[in-house]
A and B are shown apart, each in its own frame.
Chain A
């Protein structure tokens, strides 16, 4: 009756979101009186060791070239077989790009109820699990009951801790029968949008964002300098992306992407409801705006009423001093 957790490896490293998922899986395994088994594709010894440290009792390693593109057709087939072999009743994935394709497909194939984007540990109620997730773009939460025999939970990234211990996992090869299964999706081209060594926005823990208050794309130098000083990724509000001042993948908001960084600094952004929907999951929000009536201040932890063109360069200098002294 184990808990099965899907591990994603990207650029040679186990994704942080997968370590979060492993910790979570180990936690609920304890609640259910069982253990966590991880399934990792083409993983090496260093990677399986880290997965063990994150709480997996066993790591199943599946080998094959078909898995290299994270195609849910192959991943799902492998995980379905592993879940059967392990007698797994709970499957954990991350609510990230791969997870958003994988978990739903698994749900359909296994008739397993899915809570996508969980923000808390489940409550066990007999044969039923109750899990909380965000709804209404983060303005509210809902507790879902999963009634099915097999249950799937995908986790909102950066919502759960990663605690590593000395635990050593048992590592075993797992053979998957992909007989007759072929994906029709053909990859023609892959382009990277990673800018200047910044962590991709969906995974960034530190974000510096700016909006119309900057008055024009030529003024973004101060934003990029601040981001660089902090080690943050840049983001922007919708009007600025629509006007092509910034690339569309920087747009955070209700119709852009939703992020949950540890720190979100919003500069020259008024704080419309649609923008807040994309960032209200941030742990700490700093707002810098000349307008003291800007609605964003009502959703901020810290605020500076002032001119971005004066405040931001000073902030950059102060951050550099902090880094130099620490």
Chain B
């Protein structure tokens, strides 16, 4: 069983967001980049666990991004992935990313395509479902548990107000969420080994993008906090009822 894990290169969670070029680009100055947490802690770690359990033969990382992303890809290789593929392009949107993954997964016969449930920079939650549509593969979203037996995946995933357990024959696409695995720290041996693992660079497809970002804007913060005395909670209730009108 071959597993393809798609990873995104994202600003770390404490980054102060800023834009440049007249608010048309995300400013990377001083920004620390990491692998999207959902891709790393859940999709990648689970794939590695399946390999360690002898249920998968190979774990390949797939990334769409320019050469500056290679440091982030090496972190994934340090955790234990076997190799990586980088599509040399700056992605305009989720569909572009999905197209690249779908093409590579199909040409190289991957059985499981794992993505994180969303990226913390674009929050689209779309790439997994798009790959499913492009390849006509089943797609299971918001998976919190994954096991594989032969060609069948057993998946627990979140649905409205509950949890559902499903089975599905491979090949399929799964988006991974909290609960699937625990974050790992790469060890020295992994970091050393990552240096010589292959990152194959491929060119992107050339279709015109379906969407792109015209401009960004920072979200206005809340103005000021109105403080209420701890001995006067009735005032808070009155404000919530009469002023905020939420209760």
Contact = CB atoms under 8 A, between A and B. Distances in A.
A and B bind: yes
Interface of A: 10, 70, 72-73, 76, 95-98, 100-109, 111-117, 130, 133-148, 183-194, 200, 202-203, 206, 230, 248-249, 251, 254-256, 258, 262-263, 273-274, 277, 280, 283-287, 297-307, 310-311, 314-315, 318-319, 321-322, 326
Interface string B155-190: 000111111111111001000001100000000000
B215 A143 contact: yes
B166 A286 contact: no
A150 to B, nearest CB: 9
B139 A300 contact: no
Contact of B210 (A114, A141, A254, A319): A114
B212 to A, nearest CB: 6
Given A107-B130, A263-B247, A185 B140 contact: yes
B100 interface: no
Given A141-B216, A190-B159, A301-B226, A135 B122 contact: yes
Contact of B218 (A106, A139, A148, A206): A139
A140 B129 contact: no
B124 A186 contact: no
Contacts of A138: 219
Contact of A106 (B133, B140, B141, B154): B133
B49 interface: no
A141 B219 contact: yes
Interface string B91-102: 001110010000
B178 A72 contact: no
Interface stretch (B62-70, B82-90, B198-206, B238-246): B238-246
Given A137-B123, A284-B240, A297 B211 contact: no
Secondary structure at chain B's binding surface: helix, strand, loop or mixed?
mixed
10 contacts: A104-B125, A104-B139, A137-B120, A190-B163, A192-B162, A248-B144, A299-B221, A305-B227, A305-B230, A326-B241
A304 B217 CA distance: 31
A101 B129 contact: yes
Given A184-B172, A186-B168, A284-B240, A113 B219 contact: no
Contact of B133 (A107, A130, A142, A274): A107
Nearest to B208: A147
A184 to B, nearest CB: 5
B13 A262 contact: no
B236 A304 contact: yes
Q: Which of A102, A190, A194 has the most CB of B within 10 A?
A: A190
Q: Which of A136, A186, A274, A322 has the most CB of B within 10 A?
A: A136
Given A101-B139, A144-B213, A108 B161 contact: no
Contact of B234 (A108, A283, A318): A318
A241 B118 CA distance: 20
B126 to A, nearest CB: 4
B14 to A, nearest CB: 6
A304 B230 CA distance: 6
B167 A283 contact: no
A311 B233 contact: yes
Per CB-CB distance, the 9 closest pairs between chain A and chain B, nearest first, are A108-B133, A104-B129, A306-B230, A113-B210, A105-B133, A263-B246, A113-B211, A200-B161, A189-B165
Contact of A144 (B128, B140, B160, B212): B212
B211 A139 contact: no
Contacts of A188: 154, 165-167
